[in-house]
């Protein structure tokens, strides 16, 4: 068992169990009151009852059907639909999973986290829980879990997602560049034909909004002054060989770069939509004057600093001007 702050001692139901009995059938207690298992673990209500489990988190392609019975009425369940594939999005569910486990523990409930084999998906969820609860790095949490359960082996896509989770401070921050970039990557996997993309993928065109611009820098076409994007749309990256975040698929070449970034990599903006749909790569032109602003590639492009960004929507810095919104005069702008 991990060295960890266990649930509160008043949780009598769980604390009475002998510590050596941490293997209960198909289930393994990996943290006080937290069990890991495969699908077989939930097929036997007696086993759940014997282990005092009254909360089940299922991460699988199908929701389990618990056998009907009076005692089942008190069973808390939480279902995350997920295939054990690297492209499956677990990251977006991690906060809700951790919250479910915590709520159950607060209610003195032992929790079973299970998938089909108890090796990959459920291991990823429990790793996230350990990272967040015990303030461990991904490697520490996963290593601890593999010490307890040597066959634990999540797929490489989940490993990468948990590293992004760590980079966001063990919390899914949907406004962060990391999450936006991650979501863009997921979209290209989900819509390989690049048609009918969800509307919320595109940032609102800054020419159509007047609110929420305060304290934001606006970027305008240098040639015709049309507003193109806001500073909140910029997806910052570390120059050159930074953390793992976006080298998931493309390896950074083994030579050294000394250049700094000459482009802004941004999230797609509404005015780009017709250009981006159904096309893998191309130029980005000003929607008003047609000036060349940069380029896009759903498979990624390399920044001048050496970093690969996937997918990439890049605007050359020398084609746009930064304008800071004046707080008092609202829609008026001035050049910085």
Q: Applying CB under 5 A, which residues contact Zn ion?
A: 221, 223-224, 226, 261, 286, 288-289, 291, 303, 305, 307
Task: Considering the complex, state which of residue 13 and residue 317 has its C-beta at the smaller distance from Zn ion.
Answer: 317
Pairing of strands 53-60, 76-81: parallel
CA 242 and chain centroid, separation: 19
Kindly state the smallest distance separating residue 320's Cβ from Zn ion, in Å: 9
The answer to whether residues 28 and 148 touch, using CB atoms and an 8 Å cutoff, is yes
Kindly state the smallest distance separating residue 307's Cβ from Zn ion, in Å: 5
Task: Considering the complex, state which of residue 165 and residue 229 has its C-beta at the smaller distance from Zn ion.
Answer: 229
Is the dihedral angle over the CA atoms 27, 94, 105, 20 positive or is it negative?
positive
CA-based nearest residue to 27, from 3, 51, 63, 11: 51
The answer to whether residues 14 and 32 touch, using CB atoms and an 8 Å cutoff, is yes
CA-based nearest residue to 167, from 257, 75, 61, 91: 91
User: Does an H or E element contain 36, and which?
Assistant: strand 34-37
Kindly state the smallest distance separating residue 226's Cβ from Zn ion, in Å: 5
Task: Considering the complex, state which of residue 158 and residue 265 has its C-beta at the smaller distance from Zn ion.
Answer: 265
Kindly state the smallest distance separating residue 185's Cβ from Zn ion, in Å: 17
Kindly state the smallest distance separating residue 53's Cβ from Zn ion, in Å: 49
Residues ≥6 apart with Cβ < 8 Å to 45 = 66, 67, 69, 71, 72
> For this structure, is 115 an active site residue?
yes
d(CA 318, CA 286): 13
User: Does an H or E element contain 103, and which?
Assistant: helix 94-106
Task: Considering the complex, state which of residue 13 and residue 226 has its C-beta at the smaller distance from Zn ion.
Answer: 226
Task: Considering the complex, state which of residue 135 and residue 224 has its C-beta at the smaller distance from Zn ion.
Answer: 224
Q: Which of 11, 115, 286, 305 is catalytic?
A: 115
Task: Considering the complex, state which of residue 1 and residue 291 has its C-beta at the smaller distance from Zn ion.
Answer: 291
C-alpha dist (Å) from residue 179 to 20, 46, 204, 226, 258: 41, 41, 18, 28, 27
Kindly state the smallest distance separating residue 314's Cβ from Zn ion, in Å: 9
User: Does an H or E element contain 275, and which?
Assistant: helix 273-276
Active site residues: 115
């Amino acid at each position: 068992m991990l060295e960890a702050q266990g649930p509160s001692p008043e949780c009598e139901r769980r604390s009475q169990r002998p510590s050596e009995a941490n293997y209960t059938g198909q289930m393994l207690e990996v943290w006080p009151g937290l069990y890991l298992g495969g699908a077989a673990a939930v097929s036997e209500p007696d086993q759940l009852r014997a282990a005092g489990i009254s909360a089940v988190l299922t991460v699988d392609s199908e929701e389990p059907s618990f056998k009907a019975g009076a005692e089942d009425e008190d069973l808390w369940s939480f279902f995350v639909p997920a295939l054990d594939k690297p492209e499956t999005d677990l990251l977006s569910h991690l906060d809700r999973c951790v919250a479910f486990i915590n709520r159950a523990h607060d209610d003195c409930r032992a929790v079973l986290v299970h998938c089909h084999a108890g090796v990959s998906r459920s291991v990823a969820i429990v790793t996230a829980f350990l990272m967040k609860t015990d303030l461990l790095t991904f490697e520490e949490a996963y290593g601890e879990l593999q010490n307890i359960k040597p066959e634990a082996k999540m797929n490489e896509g989940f490993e990468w997602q948990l590293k992004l989770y760590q980079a966001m401070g063990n919390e899914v921050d949907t406004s962060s560049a990391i999450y936006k970039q991650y979501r863009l990557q997921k979209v290209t996997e989900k819509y390989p034909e690049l048609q009918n993309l969800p509307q919320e993928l595109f940032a609102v065109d800054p020419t159509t909004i007047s609110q929420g611009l305060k304290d934001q820098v606006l970027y305008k076409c240098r040639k015709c002054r049309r507003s193109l994007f806001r500073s909140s749309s910029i997806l910052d990256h570390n120059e050159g060989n930074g953390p793992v975040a976006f080298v998931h698929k493309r390896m950074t070449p083994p030579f050294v770069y000394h250049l700094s970034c000459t482009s802004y990599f941004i999230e797609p903006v509404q005015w780009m939509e017709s250009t981006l749909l159904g096309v893998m790569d191309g130029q980005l032109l000003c929607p008003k004057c047609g000036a060349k602003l940069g380029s896009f590639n759903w498979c990624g492009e390399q920044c001048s600093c050496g970093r690969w960004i996937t997918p990439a929507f890049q605007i050359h810095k020398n084609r746009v001007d930064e304008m800071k919104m004046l707080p008092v005069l609202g829609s008026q702008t001035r050049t910085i």
